[in-house]
Amino acid sequence: MTNFIGTYECKADTKGRVLLPVALKTQLAPMLEQGFVVKRAVFQNCLELYPMEEWNAMMQKIGKLNRFNKKNNDFIRRFTAGVKMVEVDASGRFLIPKDLVNFAGISKEIVLSSAINIIEVWDKDTYEKVIDDATDDFADLAEEVMGGDDDE
């Protein structure tokens, strides 16, 4: 599993092309040949950029769901809605499809933020608002999520 590091501010041009910052491009280098999948995030108005290996691992998990269970089928449909394959070109740019630009409300200024094994793609203003709004609850959230017994 890949573990990405960093948060990067960059720009999207009018066509939705994003030039990867050098530090992030270096981390993505081993994955450039295989390509990536970009999709809508489940919980936020941002996008998720999956290296193909990570996407395939996720699809293996999801592929085990029983499609004859309505909730499973609805989940699969929604999880894969708007999914697109993307490649990084020779200049180090990738194209965010227009429908996904609209979903995430992406304007010119964006943030690429590492989220363990994927990269979140945010409109900069939205990202800053989400981070600012979460500041007050983060200590409580950290304790609840990570503050279990030392034996765990």
Strands (E), 1-117: 7-11, 17-19, 36-40, 47-51, 84-86, 93-95, 109-115
For residue 149, pLDDT over 90 is answered with no
pTM for this prediction: 0.90
**What's the pLDDT tens digit per position in 42-65?**
999 999 999 999 999 999 999 999
pLDDT digits (tens, 9 = 90+) for 67-95: 999 999 999 999 999 999 999 999 999 99
> In whole angstroms, what is the distance from residue 42 CA to residue 75 CA?
10
**Confidence band of 152 (pLDDT split at 50, 70, 90):** low
**10: exposed, middle or buried (C-beta count within 10 Å: 0-12, 13-18, 19+)?**
middle
Domains, the chain? 7-146 (3.40.1550.20)
Across the chain, mean pLDDT equals 92
Task: Kindly report, residue by residue over 88-133, the tens digit of the pLDDT.
Answer: 999 999 999 999 999 999 999 999 999 999 999 999 999 999 988 8
As a whole number of angstroms, the distance between CA 15 and CA 150 comes to 50
**Are the CB atoms for 52 and 35 separated by under 8 Å?**
yes
Report the run of H or E that residue 58 belongs to, with start and end.
Answer: helix 52-63
Amino acid 143: pLDDT: 82
